[in-house]
Chains A and B, each alone.
Chain A
């Protein structure tokens, strides 16, 4: 099974273990000496940061779980008990609550980095697709986690999103009843969301393992998008990137700490400090910020499409919104085939770069739209931004390689790094 001979370790205990289960050899190969392009910029830190956030969320989550009660009459109060009476409970809760936001910040930066530098292109298509799976799992986990405190937003957000599945033709209502475990979001829903919320992060952990394994076959991409040609292009991961990742992580932690200790409720909604009331809908149902762009896409579909000359609705606006919203994520799976340009990095693709920035702006715009009431100007803006989102992937990216003039690629990473340091 082992490729080549195992190099024995000096420490006898380490060596004894490694002889029987080569974990140390593996760690040495994958994280010690692993040849990594030497020209990473700080956008490459965010994969490690995201992994750190996953561990943080699991650790704080387990300790919260020691005090949380997943029953509708006790859930809200159990969370408040954690905040007030459990030793350091307020800190663990705030870390967990804001950790979700930090996790999504890290993952969104990580994704946009991949988009800009063509990290999804051959031979890293599967790596990208595994990443999209992680994103979907994260979205499910975060959605269910938000329901657990059983505040007004928890309950009504769950109601709105689970109701969406009723848009599925024929089996929609059955699916919703099945999801709910009843006739509305109620105790069975809460309890199963808790079970799944506890489970999924470990699934994510496993998929992250696959994600890194898939990365380590071709090795990392780099800001120039060109392949590693020789060992002159790389440095061993340790100590160069362990140090750089460590530094980046500490800076990220400063940002995280400022939020947790000085503005722990800035990213949240005050309505979630009101216990869930199935008889009173909040004036403004809003998901957490990381879901806002998808929420905007969901609400952008505002008409019912009828079969011509009949009053039979073929695609209701609800179904249309659901299709668009899930479509927006599932579209990412086929990105490696939509953008077939042989040039990876936007550094050498001026037109791609321009469209990328417009795309980024349209995503931020969608986020803003998602936070607004669905009436008036925001609706129009949301529809335009949604249209651009799909046009970017389905029209612009496939057409670009036909028309764009890419800049000449450097011969090697080492050469480019050398040129840069000479020019600096």
Chain B
């Protein structure tokens, strides 16, 4: 028995010797986990922490719901500004009914767009037709390569899930859209890039997309950059999480049920166990 432990203690000592050596001889293997091997001198500037707009987001919190009016305005911003470069392939026109549009309005919106028919015509050629509510949102570019070609090599990401796909979520998108401005003297921006402190490395290929009055809202709300940014962000949040309200509502019912159930089960348990001698 003693011999075994001597061996084990020896192994432990070997291990203890290894650690200081490891600590001092660098981390070469870790390149596997990092896309940017140590660039000690030129560290890219950290993205600024995103900020929440005043009033916050109506969908936040356990009882949060979307603001339908804001969603409709946000859709308008997407359709008239963002869709020039950004696709939203995971949405279909019929999804817009949730925003409060009637089926006839949705049909009218869809019919403004042309899609390629699924089947070729009788001559074997693919042809375009009017979009139906069941069709997915059309994309500005037929594929990623065309998107890059049209945007100086940068790929405008699909926006269907953008709010969930970025740390900071709504706050990040809102901050990004309202964060464009002049760079400080200490930072140089490459040609063709735009300064935005909320983006990692502070340089983003997208030019400021929102300008005052770029859209004239159907409900008459003044189209300030801040307003458009808030509305389109909420719209994008909805696009990524269309069932949020249902989730919150059914969650409440489930929690209440379980709370009562827990009480009953506790009563059962206590009742049984208290009678044990």
Query: Do chains A and B directly touch (beta carbons under 8 Å) in the complex?
Result: yes
Partner-B contacts on A (CB < 8 A): 38, 77, 80, 83-84, 90-91, 94, 160, 163, 235, 239-240, 243-244, 246-247, 250-251, 253-254, 257-258, 260-262, 264-265, 270-271, 273-274, 281-283, 285, 299-304, 316-318, 321, 373-375, 379-380, 383-384, 387, 390-391, 394-395, 398-399, 402
- Interfacial chain A residues near B12, Cβ < 8 Å: 390-391, 394-395
B254 at the interface (CB under 8 A from A): yes
**B8:A258 contact, CB within 8 angstroms:** no
**B276:A235 contact, CB within 8 angstroms:** yes
B26 at the interface (CB under 8 A from A): yes
CA A301 to CA B240, docked complex, whole Å: 40
- Interfacial chain A residues near B268, Cβ < 8 Å: 243, 246-247
**A374:B34 contact, CB within 8 angstroms:** yes
Partner-A contacts on B (CB < 8 A): 4-5, 8-9, 11-12, 15-16, 18-19, 21-23, 25-30, 32-36, 38, 62, 90, 95, 157, 160-161, 164-167, 169, 200, 240, 242-243, 246-248, 250-252, 254-255, 258-259, 261-262, 265-266, 268-269, 272-273, 276
| Known contacts A299-B33, A301-B29, A383-B19: A375-B254 contact under CB 8 Å | no
CA A394 to CA B247, docked complex, whole Å: 48
CA A282 to CA B36, docked complex, whole Å: 10
Nearest to A286 among chain B residues (CB) is: B33
The 3 closest A-B pairs by CB, nearest first: A261-B251, A317-B29, A273-B165
How many A-B residue pairs have C-beta atoms within 8 angstroms? Tell me. Answer: 152
* CB of B74 to closest CB in A, whole Å: 18
* CB of A154 to closest CB in B, whole Å: 13
* CB of A237 to closest CB in B, whole Å: 12
Within 8 Å by CB of A375, from B18, B19, B38, lies B38
| Known contacts A243-B272, A395-B9: A390-B248 contact under CB 8 Å | no
**B250:A91 contact, CB within 8 angstroms:** yes
Nearest to A84 among chain B residues (CB) is: B242
CA A310 to CA B168, docked complex, whole Å: 50
Within 8 Å by CB of B240, from A77, A258, A273, A281, lies A273
* CB of A64 to closest CB in B, whole Å: 16
- Interfacial chain A residues near B19, Cβ < 8 Å: 383-384, 387
CA A283 to CA B167, docked complex, whole Å: 12
Nearest to B31 among chain A residues (CB) is: A374
Nearest to A253 among chain B residues (CB) is: B258
CA A383 to CA B26, docked complex, whole Å: 13
CA A374 to CA B30, docked complex, whole Å: 7
- Interfacial chain B residues near A247, Cβ < 8 Å: 262, 265-266, 268-269
Nearest to A396 among chain B residues (CB) is: B12
**New contact pairs (10) apart from A160-B33, A240-B276, A283-B36, CB-CB < 8 Å:** A246-B265, A250-B258, A254-B255, A299-B33, A373-B34, A374-B33, A383-B19, A387-B16, A391-B16, A402-B5
Nearest to B64 among chain A residues (CB) is: A262
CA A250 to CA B262, docked complex, whole Å: 6
**A254:B248 contact, CB within 8 angstroms:** no
**B266:A374 contact, CB within 8 angstroms:** no
**A391:B15 contact, CB within 8 angstroms:** yes
Nearest to B244 among chain A residues (CB) is: A90
CA A395 to CA B8, docked complex, whole Å: 6
**B248:A317 contact, CB within 8 angstroms:** no
| Sample (6) of A-B pairs whose CB atoms are under 8 Å apart | A243-B273, A246-B268, A250-B262, A265-B164, A394-B12, A399-B9
